[in-house]
Amino acid sequence: YYSTGLLHRWNKAGKERHWMLPVKKDFQYEVVHRYSSRDAIVAIKTTPQARKKFDELPELIEARLVSKVIKGKTYQVLTSMCDGLRFPGEDIVELYRYRWEIELGYREMKQTLLDSEYTLRSKRPDMVRQELWGVLLAYNLIRQMMTKASERLDSICPNQLSFTSSAMAVTQYFASLPLTSPGNLPRHYEVLIQQISMFVLPPRREDRSYPRWIKLKPKKYATNRKNASQLN
38-47, 73-82, 92-101, range with greatest mean pLDDT: 38-47
Give the residue-averaged pLDDT of 74-100.
88
Classify residue 42 as exposed, middle or buried by CB count within 10 Å of its CB (0-12, 13-18, 19+): buried
Residue 232 has pLDDT above 60, yes or no: no
Span 143-200, pLDDT tens digits: 999 999 999 998 898 989 999 999 999 999 999 999 889 999 999 999 999 999 999 9
- Express as a percent the part of the chain with pLDDT over 90: 57
Buried/exposed 16-27: b ≥16 CB within 10 Å, e otherwise: eeeebeebeeee
Backbone φ and ψ of 76, nearest 5° = -120, 135
Span 6-48, pLDDT tens digits: 999 988 888 889 999 999 888 899 999 999 999 999 999 999 9
**Residue 149 vs residue 216, higher pLDDT:** 149
H helices then E strands: how many in the chain? 8, 5
Give the start-to-end residue ranges of the domains of the chain: 4-97, 101-196
Q: What angle do CA 162, 167, 173 make, to 5 degrees?
A: 130
Cβ proximity of 142 and 109 under 8 Å: no
Please provide the DSSP assignment of 23-53 as one string: E-TT---EEEEEEETTEEEEEEEPPHHHHHH
pTM strictly above 0.85 = no
